[in-house]
Amino acid sequence: MDRRLYFLIPDRQHALSVVDELVEHGIDKKHIHALGDPRTRLDGLPIATPRQKNDVAKRVEKSCWNINMASFTLALIALIILPIVHGPSWWLLIPAAIMIGNFMFGLHLTSIPSSHLGEFRDALTHGEILLLVDVPETQIADVETRIHQQHPEAAVGGVSWSTQAFGL
């Protein structure tokens, strides 16, 4: 699965330079997106889609987590009620398996890096530009190192999973 890297860039000129550097190193421009305050000039930069601006990834994560917790709770209730109503039986394995599955899914969700746009709102209101770069997981360190070495003004803002796989 691709990861989304966040880079805070102080101005448009530096952002254009970073985008050129990324494209030069084989990252397709359709995997690079720029966000800024409405007063910030972004012409010449690959603009983020409305879904990216609204941080769909955060809503997807929250929905998955809420469904996971609701399912776990229902399985726990079933695990408590089934023995009272029917006595001990093999049916108790179903809610127990659901609870174990939900627990493992929850552990997996908490291990995925998770930066979100809300973390950058203050910087964006001060005129900085946020570049969202979607890269394969194996290229994260290379891209971060390259940008840090070539553009020390660019602050690495974090990593998250990318919604690119879902077309968002």
DSSP state at residue 36: -
Assigned token pair, 6: 């966040």
pLDDT digits (tens, 9 = 90+) for 19-76: 888 888 888 888 888 888 888 888 888 887 777 677 666 777 788 788 888 888 888 8
| Tokens describing residue 28 | 């397709």
Q: How many angstroms separate the CA atoms of 133 and 127, rounded?
A: 19
Query: How far, in Å, CA of 128 to CA of 119, rounded?
Result: 13
Per-residue pLDDT averaged across 10-16, rounded?
89
pLDDT tier, 114 (very low <50, low <70, confident <90, very high otherwise): low
pTM for the structure as a whole: 0.67
Strands (E) located in the chain:
2-9, 32-35, 129-136, 155-161
Q: Is 99 helix (H, G, I), strand (E, B) or coil?
A: helix
Tell me the range of 85-94, 132-141, 154-163 where mean pLDDT is highest: 132-141
Q: Is 50 exceeded by the pLDDT of residue 90?
A: yes
Q: How far is CA 62 from CA 36, 58, 67, in A?
A: 24, 6, 9
Q: What's the chain's average pLDDT?
A: 80
Query: Is residue 158 predicted with pLDDT exceeding 70?
Result: no
Nearest Cα residue to 153 out of 5, 23, 7? 7
Whether residue 4 is predicted with pLDDT greater than 70 in this model: the reply is yes
Q: Tokens 């990252």 belong to which residue?
A: 27
Closest CA to 7 of 103, 139, 115, 97: 115
pLDDT at residue 168 in the model: 46
pLDDT-based confidence at residue 166 (cuts at 50, 70, 90): very low
pLDDT band, very low/low/confident/very high, at 112 (cuts 50, 70, 90): low
Question: Minimum mean pLDDT among 21-25, 48-52, 81-85, 104-108: which range?
Answer: 48-52
